[in-house]
Structure formats: C-alpha cells, structure tokens
Structure 1
C-alpha cells in the first residue's frame, strides 16, 4: 500500500517510515500537516498515519480536510498519540473522522496489526462503494429503483440527485431504425 506519514518529530518519522517500508509499503513522509495535505490533495492515498500535534496543520484538521475532499476513495486515518488522552479528546478525534489510534513510542507489532485492520476495512469500503454505485434499472421500461424501492424514470432519478435538466431527442440510429419506418408508414397511409 501507499501510506502517507505526517510526523513533525524527525526520529519518530524516520522510525515509522523505515518500519512501514520493511513491511513492504511505499511511504511518503512529511514533517507537518500542511505539506502532507498538499501531497494527499495532489495524489490521494488509502492510508494516512499522522501525529496529532504538528505545526501548520494538526492531525485532526488534516483528517477533517481529507474527509471533506470530494470524489476520494475512503482513506483509513490512524492518529499517533504521545500521551494518554481523555475520553472527550478521543471523542473529538472520532468526530473529526479518525479511524484508529497508535500510541507513542511506536511498537512494530501494533503498527502491523493496525495496518492489517486498515487493509480489511479498505477492501470492504471498496466493495460497498462499488455496490452503491450500481444503479438498478428495469430491462424493459428503463425505470430506475431508488433506495426506497420506488421505481421512477431515469431522468427523474438523476435530476433529484444531481440537479441535471434533461431534454429529449432521438439519436441517428434510433431515428433510422424506429422513427423513419413509422414516418414511412404514415406517408403510405395518407391520401394524396
């Protein structure tokens, strides 16, 4: 996996990067949240390991930006904590979108276990995203089924979700195969 690391402490950053590389991962490491965000925004990854307290952009604000970025596959976000935090602080982190926590000093086994969980969750997130992106459409009338099992015209369904307006026309193939033969029939029947 490609993993983005944001850690302002040089020794911790080097230790984490080396460990992740030894596990076979590709690592991008940054010493602050702002640079890490810029890298993520330019080329999103599926796993981020970030320190909580960093200059320029802390771990929670970094996570919030990741969660708000549109059209991005789900990113598993692990937050590094230097000391034991209280329940309220952890709740704030969870509300920001943090998936998991790793305590410092770093433990190789803990990192490995967290990454195994991340891989499993990301696999399921991809499956769910694929299933949610499928649009059930009737083979006969071409109506679409919504989440409430209500069947409606494709145009209505898309308009409600995207605000798209539609105009109707006939493509050249359908004109040749459907419309023109009907027009020819009408011309034969019309009195001259």
Structure 2
C-alpha cells in the first residue's frame, strides 16, 4: 500500500458490514484498517494515525459515542474527521452524535456510494491532495490528480517522495512538521527509514522548488522540523 493513500479506520462489530465497507473503501483507493470494538479502536488510532474514522455507534466494550468523545478531547486526534454510523434515526440521536464531536452522521441502512462520497467530502477538508484536489501556495501549484507541480507557470521536476512531501506541506501551510511526523505521513508507519533520510529529501525538494528561480519557501525550525512559509 502506498503511504500517501488516505487511511480509513473502520470501527464496526458486524462482520458482514465490515467486509462490504472495507471492500468498497479499498476499491475507491483508500487504505483500510479495522477494529471490532471501542477499546480496540482507541488503541489502533495511536498505531495507524488514520486520516478519517468511520465509527459505528453500537459497539461492544465501549460505545462509538464514548470513543468519539475521547478522541475529540485528545490533541493528537481532535482534528481527525469522524463519521458516525447508527441505526438511530431520531433527531435527538443525530444531535447527540454531532454534539459529541462527530463530523458527520449516517443512518443505517445507508447507501455505500453515499458513504464513500461523505468520506471524500471530509478528506477534501483535511487532506485535499489525497483525494486529487488542486493546491496553491503563493506561486506554487500542485495538481494531485495529474501529479504535476508548477511554480510561476514553469513545470517542476520532482520525484515521488518530494511530491508527497510538498503535498503534505501545502495541505497545511505554516504548520511545523517534525521529522517523525513526515516519516509517518510520507513513508508510512510500517516502513523503517532513518530520520536523516527526511533531511536528504527536503534538500532535494528545496532544489526542485528553486530550479526555476524564486526564494526557498521551506523553513527549517531548529529542534522542531520543517514548515512551508
């Protein structure tokens, strides 16, 4: 699996539902991790750092509502989108789910096609490059669908790793990324790469960005990592 595929953590205790959803999510280009109960979900969030969580309300050991509440109080997961799945269709239940922190609420039975659209809609907000969006920062334009980067109208030659690094920076300009965070996002958690490798690829990205002229838009933050702008 490619490290730049958006990762969905699917938390569902019904095997049939889990199988159908995971199959369709993977067919739509997502990397899928699965948990069968609330406690397992909380452990897996730390292990896989998902880009989005699809979370069933009714779960053994710990309810989806409680999982959602805990994740939305943690700094590391507060911004991770959560789509709540529930057989509860009453307005009071929908309101409770959203007030607990869920970003969207889908009532069972649902259309898989609609759910996939909602997953993509949430990711457009948090990881636009991962769903083929076009990103712009100053005179730099990154087209995730065509894998093309231009600066001031000139096409830049970037390797695949440098492209993923740039996409990560452009999704959140100004944010300081540590070397470890960049390794997780760009290379993937299950691949061992020395943190010094990040510095090498940052150097290549800087060279590529400045090949056609212009100032270096990347900033080294001493003791912390790197940022765009």
Provide TM-score, normalisation by structure 1: 0.61
Secondary structure at 1:56 match in 2: coil
Q: State the match for 1:188 in structure 2.
A: none
Secondary structure at 1:13 match in 2: helix
Question: How much has 1:105 moved relative to structure 2?
Answer: 2.5
Structure 2 stretches of 5 or more lacking a match?
A: 1-5, 129-167, 177-229
Question: How much has 1:97 moved relative to structure 2?
Answer: 0.5
Structure 1 segment 1-192 matched on structure 2, within 5 A: 1-72=6-77, 74-84=79-89, 86-123=90-127, 130-131=173-174
Q: State the match for 1:160 in structure 2.
A: none
Structure 1 stretches of 5 or more lacking a match?
A: 134-192
RMSD (CA atoms): 2.2
1:39–1:21 distance in 2 versus 1, CA, 3 Å: same
1:41–1:76 distance in 2 versus 1, CA, 3 Å: same
Count of aligned residue pairs for this structure pair: 131
Provide TM-score, normalisation by structure 2: 0.52
The superposition leaves residues 38-68 of structure 1 with CA deviations (integer Å, 9 ceiling, x where unpaired) of 1002332120001111111111111111112
Instruction: Give the conservation status (yes or no) of the 8 Å contact 1:46–1:73.
Output: no
CA distance in 2, matches of 1:46, 1:64: 17
1:64–1:129 distance in 2 versus 1, CA, 3 Å: farther
CA distance in 2, matches of 1:43, 1:73: 15
Which protein has the bigger helix share? 1
The superposition leaves residues 92-150 of structure 1 with CA deviations (integer Å, 9 ceiling, x where unpaired) of 111110001222224122022102211212147x97964577xxxxxxxxxxxxxxxxx
Instruction: Give the conservation status (yes or no) of the 8 Å contact 1:46–1:74.
Output: no
Question: How much has 1:81 moved relative to structure 2?
Answer: 1.3
CA distance in 2, matches of 1:4, 1:102: 16
1:105–1:89 distance in 2 versus 1, CA, 3 Å: closer
CA distance in 2, matches of 1:88, 1:103: 13
Query: Which 4+ stretches in 1 moved above 3 angstroms?
Result: 126-133
